[in-house]
Structure 1
Amino acid sequence: MHIRQYHHTDWPRICEIHDAARRFELEASGLADAFLTLEQTGETEGLFDATLFVAVQDGVVAGFAGYTNDEVTWLYVDPSRYRNGVGRALLRAVVKAAPKPLALDVLVGNDAALALYQSEGFRIIDTVSGKLAGNEAFAATAHVLQFQPAPPH
C-alpha cells in the first residue's frame, strides 16, 4: 500500500469511496436517511480546505483522509477493503503529518471507526449533540476525540 497526496484526477474515485462508506457510517448511527453524496457536500464541508491523502492498494485508490491544522476532517475507505489496514495506514499518515493537538468527531454508533481511532491513541474527551455536518436537517450525537498517544516505556 502506498499513501500519497490527493490529485484532482482522484476525484471520481474518492466520490465513489465516500458515498459507499458514508452509507455504512450513517446506517450504523441510525441516520441512513441523512445521506448526501460527496458531490453534494464536499465543497460546503471544506473538503478542499484540508490536506488530503489517498491510499493506493493494488493500483487502485482504496481510501482517503484529510486534515486541517487541528482536526482529522475526512477518513473514508472503500467498504470492499474494510479491515485490510487502509484506514489505519491513512490515519497514521495524518497523525505523522498534522500539527498537534489533533482532534476528530465520530458519530455515536460508528463503533468500528471509534475502535480504530482509540487503538491509534485517540481518546474521547466529550460527547456532543447538534446538527449533522453536511446535512443540517438531521440531528446527530458525536464523540469528540483528541490524539493522546501513550507515553513511551
Structure 2
Amino acid sequence: MQPSPPVVRPYTDADWPHICRIHDAARLDELRGSAGVDAFLTLEQTAEGEGLFDGALWVATVDGEVAGFAAFDEGEFTWLYVDPARYRRGVGRALLRHALAEAGEDRVETTVLDGNPAALALYLAEGFTVVETRAGKLAGNEAFAATGHIMEWRRAGSAR
C-alpha cells in the first residue's frame, strides 16, 4: 500500500519529540557533506537560540506520523527538515510549497549548506536561485566554518 500524500498543518506542542528526532537525524546528514558531524548540536540545544518559534512553524504528516517540519520568519525559510526515512517522497516539497503560499511574501530567502545537494536541488526545482555563496561561521555553532548558498525566490510577477 502506498503512503498517503503529506498533510501540512501548524505545529503543536505534542509535535516536539517528533521534530527533535527528525532534526537530529537529518541535521547529521546535512553536516556530513558540509561542516562535519563534529558541528552537530541537537534541536533541544539550538531551537531557542536560533529562533525556531519566532515565526510560523508547520509540520508535515504522512499517514498520521510527523514526517518533517519547516519554519518561516520575516521573509526567510529558517528551518526545513525531513525524516531521513521519508527523503525524496514529497515531504520537503509539500512543506516548502505550503509555507510559500501561507507566507504571502513576494520575496523569500533561505540558505543551503554547500554539500547538501538534495536540499539545493529541491529549492532550485521550486524556483529559488542562488544569489550568493558565502563562507563563514556555521549558524548555531559558530566554532565551525561552513559555506552556504544564499537563495532567493520571487513570486511570479513581483518586481526584482
TM over 0.5: same fold?
yes
Q: 1:102 maps to what in 2?
A: 108
CA drift of 1:80 comes to 0.2
Q: 1:115 maps to what in 2?
A: 121
Q: 1:18 maps to what in 2?
A: 23
Is 1:143 the counterpart of 2:149? The answer is: yes
Is 1:125 the counterpart of 2:135? The answer is: no
Q: 1:41 maps to what in 2?
A: 46
CA distance in 2 between counterparts of 1:60 and 1:43 reads 24
CA distance in 1 between counterparts of 2:93 and 2:8 reads 11
CA drift of 1:100 comes to 2.6
Q: 2:3 maps to what in 1?
A: none
CA distance in 1 between counterparts of 2:106 and 2:140 reads 25
Counting aligned pairs with the same residue, the percent is 59
Deviations 1:115-152 (A, max 9, x none): 0000000000001111101101001110000003567x
CA distance in 2 between counterparts of 1:28 and 1:59 reads 31
Question: What is the TM-score of this pair, normalised by structure 1?
Answer: 0.95
State the SS of the aligned residue for 2:26.
Answer: helix
State the SS of the aligned residue for 2:53.
Answer: helix
Q: How does 1:55-94 map to 2 (within 5 A)?
A: 55-94=60-99
- How many residue pairs match? The answer is 151
Residue 50 of structure 1, aligned match among 41, 47, 55: 55
CA contact (8 A) 2:107 2:155 kept: no
CA distance in 2 between counterparts of 1:150 and 1:120 reads 12
Residue identity opposite 1:115 in structure 2? A
Runs of 4+ in structure 1 deviating by more than 3 angstroms, as ranges, are: 148-151
CA RMSD of aligned residues (A): 1.1
